[in-house]
Amino acid sequence: MKKNNSLFVLIIILCIIGIITNIFLMSSNIFNKDFRIQTEKITINDKNYSIQITQIYSSDEILNNGIDTIINNIKNSFLEEVKNDKGKLVIDYEYSKYKDIYSFHIRGIANIKDILKRKDYIIYYDEKAKKVLKQEDLIKKDYGLYTIFNSNCVDYLNDIDYDESLLEIEDKNYSLLIFSNDNIHIIIINNNEEISIPINYSYIKEYLNKKYFKVRDKIIKDTNKDVEVTPEREETIQENVDKTEELNLPKYLAFTFDDGPALDITTTLLDGLKERNAKATFFVLGNRAVNQGDIIKRMIEEGHVVGSHTYSHKNLLRLSLEEALGEINNTNDIIANITGNKPKYLRPPYGNYNKEILNNSNMTFILWSVDTEDWKKRNADLIYEYIINNVNDGDIVLLHDLYPTSVDGVLKAIDYLKGQNYRFVNIDELFNKKGAIAEVNKTYRYVK
Ligand code: ZN
């Protein structure tokens, strides 16, 4: 009897604990409304086909419905196509986050009789507002944006075999956009393979909805503070500028051209520079230089400096140190094979590098103090105006010999600036004229 009693008490206690726990869980469900995602693997097997789905469930029903619709679309079009054939469908997903915005990329890859077909969808969700967003809520898509996308993609894919129609300026080509921490990523599906092309938000700032995106005006392109301008230094620069003006001494500019050589455009530029007795610096890509030895030789013969822009324009920060140095050293060898000398100067693509790359490069890194954004403007007059309004003695100006508009704009600027007592020198001469020495493993944005 005593034993039964204590068992009874124990059961009562357990019940009370159970009830309390339940109340606690319920209340935490009510009060803890954080957004959550869960996934579950689902497999459907039929005698002919199989479907594997990584299903996402979130704490938001509207988002779940949106995801379900996408998954059903993929599933139904597979079922329509597979009919009595053998086939397999895999649906999975990936997501990125920018602040409160999730980009869920859902993809279905179907294999029917060894032919692959894929479908990609992106659904956006604002965690804070608990709302599914449309792409147009986030970014204004128009021709201007697409030209920026296009030139960045062309640049990014230049060593990859791809179907050029994928980059044509059309809505359908730029519909898969993912918003991550620092970059928007354009997803291109080339031959069923996914390529993700990052573009810094600052390049497309004016197209982003300010409600969601806070983009700083200027990207901080490197972490190396070697040439940081302190207030005192700024003052001495200003003093020097004043003195130069006063004595009517010549002022020096180093125009630099990246991403080439680009056949006709570079040739036209070289002709124009020669006519004006202006010298410049060309940061060439190894994979372009390798087939364009003649034009590289011409650059040297006509007094320009040939620097390296790495082999294939990869973002060095996304590579291992070994790979990054490979991109650099390989290009040095290619240039040395053409000119007899390894280049001294390197311009890292996008201005991206770290201390490790710099310290192991044995090169002098040249960034820029004036960014014409010629790749974005594609308008000779705008480029001309920007140059003449923004240059000062000792500046290094960033341009690309990829666009005829850049060539026209810079030549026009040279004609004008000549009358303002400017001289146009290559980077070696800029250091010489300023009595400065280009040190190895150091970065320069200007020489003043
Ligand atoms: Zn470049």
Cα(399) to ligand 1 centroid in Å equals 9
Give this prediction's pTM.
0.51
Q: Cis before residue 198, ω within 30 degrees of 0?
A: no
Q: pLDDT-based confidence at 229, cuts 50/70/90?
A: very low
Q: What is the pLDDT of residue 225?
A: 39
Whether 380 shows a pLDDT value over 50: the answer reads yes
β-pair partners for 90: 52, 109
Q: What is the pLDDT of residue 228?
A: 45
Name the DSSP class of 419: T
Q: 244-444 has which fold?
A: TIM Barrel (3.20.20)
Mean pLDDT of the chain: 87
Condensed to tens digits (0 to 9), the pLDDT of residues 291-339 reads 999 999 999 999 999 999 999 998 898 899 999 999 999 999 999 999 9
Mean pLDDT over residues 281-300, rounded? 96
For 366, residues 6+ apart whose C-beta sits below 8 A from its C-beta are 256, 281, 283, 307, 345, 346, 347, 396, 427, 443, 444
Catalytic site residue from 126, 222, 258, 401: 258
Cα(14) to ligand 1 centroid in Å equals 69
Which whole-number Å values give the CA distances from 236 to 43, 224, 229, 296, in the listed order? 71, 22, 10, 38
Condensed to tens digits (0 to 9), the pLDDT of residues 163-205 reads 888 988 788 999 999 999 889 999 999 988 899 999 988 888 8
Question: For the chain, first and last CA: distance in Å?
Answer: 99
Q: Which CATH architecture has domain 34-133?
A: 2-Layer Sandwich (3.30)
Cα(280) to ligand 1 centroid in Å equals 16
For 117, residues 6+ apart whose C-beta sits below 8 A from its C-beta are 81, 109, 110, 192
Extract the tokens encoding 367.
């960034």
For 370, residues 6+ apart whose C-beta sits below 8 A from its C-beta are 387, 390, 391, 395, 396, 397, 398
Catalytic site residue from 126, 304, 400, 401: 400
Cα(402) to ligand 1 centroid in Å equals 10
Whether 16 shows a pLDDT value over 70: the answer reads no
How far, in Å, CA of 28 to CA of 120, rounded?
36
Mean pLDDT over residues 238-253, rounded? 70
Q: What is the pLDDT of residue 338?
A: 97
Smallest CA-to-CA distance from 422 within 253, 278, 275 is with 253
309 is catalytic: no
The residue ranges of every structural domain in the chain are 34-133, 136-217, 244-444
Cα(312) to ligand 1 centroid in Å equals 9
β-pair partners for 198: 185
Whether 3 shows a pLDDT value over 60: the answer reads no
Cα(259) to ligand 1 centroid in Å equals 5
Domains 34-133 and 244-444 share a fold: no
27-41, 80-94, 199-213, 326-340, range with greatest mean pLDDT: 326-340
Cα(260) to ligand 1 centroid in Å equals 9
Cα(27) to ligand 1 centroid in Å equals 56
400 is catalytic: yes
User: If 0-12 CB within 10 Å is exposed, 13-18 middle and 19+ buried, where does residue 404 land?
Assistant: middle
What is the share, in percent, of the chain residues with pLDDT greater than 70?
86
Torsion of CA 140, 117, 150, 254, to 10 degrees: 130
Q: What is the pLDDT of residue 18?
A: 59
Whether 29 shows a pLDDT value over 70: the answer reads no
Which whole-number Å values give the CA distances from 433 to 144, 251, 255, 280, in the listed order? 40, 10, 15, 14
What is the share, in percent, of the chain residues with pLDDT greater than 90?
66
Mean pLDDT over residues 43-57, rounded? 92
Name the DSSP class of 10: H
Whether 357 shows a pLDDT value over 80: the answer reads yes
